[in-house]
Structure 1
Amino acid sequence: MGLYIAESLTILARALDAGHQPRSVLTSDKWLPQLEELLIAHDAPTDLPVLRASDEWLESLTGFHVHRGTLASMNRPVTPSAAELMSTARTLVILEDIVDHTNVGALFRSVAAMGADAVIVTERCADPLYRRSVRVSMGTVLQVPWTRADWSEIIAACRDQDWTVLGLGLSAEAVDFDDYVVHPPEKVALALGSEGPGLSSRALADCDVVARIPMSHGVDSLNVAAAGAVALHALRRAKSQH
């Protein structure tokens, strides 16, 4: 099953709210009372190992401030198949080979904030449950349903369930994103590509529509996390008007 690290009491609380099971917790005396309250409120096992150490001692071992009050080792949840995840969704985000953990975390935060339903990451995409991804997402990777699948499985599920795959790209054939979202499809999967090259040629060929966010002042593109946030906001606004 594997594990991941929940950093800070806030992230641990979101993990417990999501039903994730802790394996052990590291904290300091300062944060112990709040940690105990949190564990009791979530009916954590009474035999859960809770380790205490001073910040000074931990920093002497690692050379840096190692945690934000609490670190918890958590069991990874079992993720559904792509088809199962998509069966109850209407707005989906596909992350193709995005390798920066900060961008993955930021995109999950936008997905949660803009009301999208789920995320699917490809096999070479950075781990959403990597410590930095979890922290940058403000714990939303623990709230947003997601799974990992290869591109061919994702596209097959989209075809089987009548999803429209909308890719963001800079090709000459790309339509204006503002124009496209005037009448958005009922079920839209927004595909975002890796930093730098963007969506692969295979992914672009599989997209039903490729759209480009209009830019000003000679700017040709946005960071993938910023582009995802802009697109999701526009999709949410358009869908709310229909």
Structure 2
Amino acid sequence: MEPERGLFMAESRNVIERAIEAGYRPRSFLMAHRWLDSMRPILERFGPDAGDIPVYVGDEKIIQKITGFRLHRGALAAMWRKDLPTFEDVIGDATRVVIIEDIVDHTNVGAIFRSAAALDVDAVLVSPSCADPLYRRSVRVSMGTVFQLPWTRLEKWPDIEALHKHGFHVAALALGENTISLDDFSKKLDENPQTKVAWVLGAEGYGLKPWTLRAVDSCVMIPMGHGVDSLNVAAAGAVAFWASRKRH
């Protein structure tokens, strides 16, 4: 399966249902016997016996041997990918955007999507080298919110100017020159509620690229206590999303 082409895997009934509601079409289903009844309403959407979509049902231990992992909530669907939207389509009317730069941990990518969806971020952009948001683990950790938020993969990064053209203030969640606290950044948003914010999050350990830090408008840090000097990138993102949520 190639990123952005072909198929991806959706795991659990809730995630599969969200994918279908977002317009993704299943290629096939695999599930344990005990999940067939709960999955039946989803299967029936595609006609009697799921139409021409194969449904494979088996013993959980055999399924685990076939897939190489334990199915969570007993159901797996191979789904056809859709063409990714353009940058312009994704950015559209957005006022809160997150850019994920070169994060290769699928769990973190999925968690960022979940926090972004919950905390009113409008869209997600991923860098050319970022992990695939539709990788099975990313999708599962996101609880299917990857299907609810508009997102696309950038052809080049950094491209701060493209965000500036759409009126965004680009803020890196990182230490850099003239770093300000998230508290102060939030106060500025209170004073200027129409400000459009694009957050840039980088990989743990290496952080954001030096040229990204040089190009952004602000570097923002989260004040911390008890001698703690950092947070997991998904947790840090959630804090920033909440502090910069839209002012109505």
TM-score between the two structures when normalised by the length of structure 1: 0.91
Query: 1:202 corresponds to which residue?
Result: 211
**Structure 1 contact 83–157 (Cα < 8 Å) conserved:** no
Q: Which of 13, 20, 25 is equivalent to 2:17? A: 13
Give CA deviations for 1:98-120 in whole Å, capped at 9, x if unaligned. Answer: 11111111100100110110100
Q: Which of 6, 30, 33 is equivalent to 1:29? A: 33
Q: For the aligned residues, what is the CA RMSD? A: 2.0
Give the superposition deviation at 1:92: 0.1
Give CA deviations for 1:191-236 in whole Å, capped at 9, x if unaligned. Answer: 1111112111111111011111112222222111111000001011
- 5+ residue gaps, structure 2, are none
Name the CA distance, whole Å, in 1 between partners of 2:78 and 2:149.
20
1:43-82 map, 5 Å: 46-61=51-66, 64-66=69-71, 68-82=73-87
Following TM superposition, where does structure 1 have runs of at least 4 consecutive aligned residues deviating by more than 3 angstroms?
41-45, 59-64, 150-154
Give the superposition deviation at 1:127: 0.8
Query: 1:167 corresponds to which residue?
Result: 172
The 3 A distance-change label for structure 1 pair 183 and 101 is: same
Give the superposition deviation at 1:159: 2.3
Q: Report how many residues are paired.
A: 239
Name the CA distance, whole Å, in 2 between partners of 1:122 and 1:81.
14
SS in 2 for 1:116: coil
Give CA deviations for 1:4-31 in whole Å, capped at 9, x if unaligned. Answer: 0001111101101111111111112211
Q: Which of 176, 182, 188 is equivalent to 2:181? A: 176
Name the CA distance, whole Å, in 1 between partners of 2:104 and 2:182.
25
Moved more, 41-50 or 154-163: 41-50
The percentage of aligned residue pairs carrying the same residue is: 48
TM-score between the two structures when normalised by the length of structure 2: 0.89
Give CA deviations for 1:144-185 in whole Å, capped at 9, x if unaligned. Answer: 111001444742321221211011112252111211111225
Aligned AA (2:93): T
Q: Which of 189, 193, 196 is equivalent to 1:187? A: 196
SS in 2 for 1:182: helix
**Structure 1 contact 25–70 (Cα < 8 Å) conserved:** yes
Name the CA distance, whole Å, in 2 between partners of 1:151 and 1:175.
27
**Structure 2 contact 11–71 (Cα < 8 Å) conserved:** no
